[in-house]
Amino acid sequence: MSYLVLARKYRSRDFEALVGQEHVVKALTNALTQQRLHHAYLFTGTRGVGKTSVSRILAKALNCTGPDGTGGITAHPCGVCDACRDIDSGRFVDYVELDAASNRGVEEISQLLDQAVYKPVVGRFKVYLIDEVHMLSNTAFNAMLKTLEEPPEYLKFVLATTDPQKVPPTVLSRCLQFNLRPMAPQTVQEHLSTVLAAEKIEAEPGALRLLARGARGSMRDALSLTDQAIAFGAGSLTEAGVRQMLGAVDRSHAVRLVEALAAGQGAEVIAAVDGLRSLGLSATGTLEEMAALLQQMAVLQAVPDALDESDPDAPTAARLAGLLAPDETQFLYSIVLHGRAELGLAPDEYSGLVMVLLRMLAFRPGGAGTSPQRAAAPAAAKPVAAPVMSKPVVAAAPVRPAVVTPAPVSRASAPAASEPPPWVDVPYEDEAPVAPVAVREPEPVRPPVATFTPTPLGDRWAQVVGQMNEAASIGALVRELAMQSQCLSIDESAKPPVWRLRVERETLRAPAQRDKLQAALSDLLQHAVQIEVEAGVASDTPAQRATAERTRRQNEAEQIIHNDPLVQALMQQFKTARIVPGSVKPH
């Protein structure tokens, strides 16, 4: 059987058939109807969006003579007159297509322009299509410019390019420019099903969805992929067949991975990758499928009504959309995209894939379950003291293994099976009390336990020491005494009032230091005080508080990740993204 490839057979032959480019069609149709024609058009857009098709339709519109040979310029070329048929079949002498990618020199252009001085042989207009015009050399551009400035009235230029940035402004300014849009997968899919219906070829909707996605906005690619798929599937189009042909990874694998990531289950992530490896599925395909899934989830999170009922994957995406916060979905998506690029650099693509996935766990908001051990922590370890800790400190913990707070344990234990992960700010209906997620409590941030334990007089002491430091009323040694002391009691009833301090270092307890501190404090408070210093381990000193504060600052995300340029890039890209929500809040 004679077989014309779909991409050629179903090339749009009139403006009405030009799928997905309504804005261009409307402008050109109006211009043709009103006979207000420009002498040069520039069509921009990625490959396969229909630039050549528009050019041919335009040439037909200008030269069509109608079925009875009496028609004039029309927005609806008849398709049956000699001009229409000859242009469609590439035999029309007055329509010339020049591919600048292979004819970039001044000679080819000069030859073409030499022909321009002669009137059209059979048509009303000569139409020159220069495809990939940005590839022309500068001298070629210059040669063209003169004709472009003062073209004979029977000559129309159609320039097409995928890269308008490389077209000199002198040329751009002489053209009417139209941007042809890449086509949405949905549009491509609809067109494919029309085409296949016309071809009487059975196709599973899932197969068409994969083809449409694989075409990346190019209708021509979609049609040639479909051709290949028909050959591959010996005449039928099944989802499994197309998936195999495209090396695409089944949606269920992506779903499993996103679920594991949402639940913070490192072990499950590794197991899923092992599964992919043993099935021989590609890591790139996996990340692509994850990207598609995350994109769908993000849309549903932003616009829940956007659910496409005809898409069998949609309900799953909707369910997963509920597992992650929108900003986290964005964050994972970005890691997936960047990860794809780095797969080639990894020792092998599966280890690359594992690293990309583990990165998502490591930098996941909430951060619990960053390691398999944590993820595996028994669910029985339900929070004991957790809610006391306020969120920022807790959230910052996972990226700093050194600082251990009780809270992460409870958080890590939370994501059991199908529960929504702990960082999701969904109101818990019946089990609210546990929710460590709960909104930030108003109480002040407590730095990690290791540093200091707040005491009743800690704030007061830190305050007066701060004031003495500011007033520079104390020297270095006395300052050290003040900073290293914990205030145990203040006896206001005594005369003068007695401040009891405890300090560990013996050298600081010398009477001379104590007296100076006493004088400075009396000065500050504007009444006499007595200071008594006892030996012992201090647990709430201004110095410890300062350290805790410094630690807290250091823990802010930007600093934690300063060694990871990739994450840095991610963070730059997502100004609002937090590695750990709450940890980067200014206080």
Cβ partners under 8 Å of residue 343, min gap 6: 283, 284, 287, 349, 352, 353, 356
Comparing CB distances to Zn ion, the nearer of 16 and 199 is 16
Comparing CB distances to Zn ion, the nearer of 69 and 378 is 69
Part of the chain binding Zn ion (CB under 5 A), chosen from 47-55, 62-70, 235-243, 492-500: 62-70
Comparing CB distances to Zn ion, the nearer of 81 and 529 is 81
Comparing CB distances to Zn ion, the nearer of 18 and 148 is 18
- Give me 507's structure tokens: 């050298």
CB of 12 to Zn ion, least distance (A): 15
Site for Zn ion in 367-406 (CB under 5 A): none
CB of 63 to Zn ion, least distance (A): 8
From CA 180, how far away is CA 176, in angstroms rounded? 13
CB atoms within 10 A of CB 582: 18
CB of 94 to Zn ion, least distance (A): 14
Comparing CB distances to Zn ion, the nearer of 84 and 260 is 84
Site for Zn ion in 68-87 (CB under 5 A): 77-78, 81, 84
CB of 81 to Zn ion, least distance (A): 3
CB of 130 to Zn ion, least distance (A): 24
Comparing CB distances to Zn ion, the nearer of 45 and 77 is 77
| Total binding residues toward Zn ion, as defined by CB under 5 A | 5
From CA 187, how far away is CA 221, in angstroms rounded? 13
Residue owning tokens 């060694």? 563
Comparing CB distances to Zn ion, the nearer of 41 and 92 is 92
Query: Judged by CB under 5 A, which of 24, 31, 64, 255 binds Zn ion?
Result: 64
Residue owning tokens 């021989």? 280
CB of 16 to Zn ion, least distance (A): 14
Amino acid of residue 239: E
Answer yes or no whether residue 58 interacts with Zn ion by CB under 5 A.
Answer: no
Sheet holding 126-131, edge to edge: 95-99, 126-131, 155-161, 40-44, 176-179
Length of the chain: 587
Site for Zn ion in 82-141 (CB under 5 A): 84
Comparing CB distances to Zn ion, the nearer of 25 and 61 is 61
CB of 15 to Zn ion, least distance (A): 13
Part of the chain binding Zn ion (CB under 5 A), chosen from 25-33, 57-65, 224-232, 384-392: 57-65
DSSP character string of 322-357: TTS-HHHHHHHHHHHHHHHHHGGGSSSHHHHHHHHH
The 3-state DSSP class for residue 132 equals coil
Q: Which long-range contacts (CB under 8 A, 24 or more apart) does 398-403 make?
A: 398/362, 398/367, 398/368, 398/370, 398/580, 399/362, 399/363, 399/367, 399/370, 399/555, 399/557, 399/560, 399/561, 399/579, 399/580, 400/555, 400/560, 403/448, 403/450, 403/551, 403/555
CB of 82 to Zn ion, least distance (A): 8
Binding site for Zn ion (CB under 5 A): 64, 77-78, 81, 84
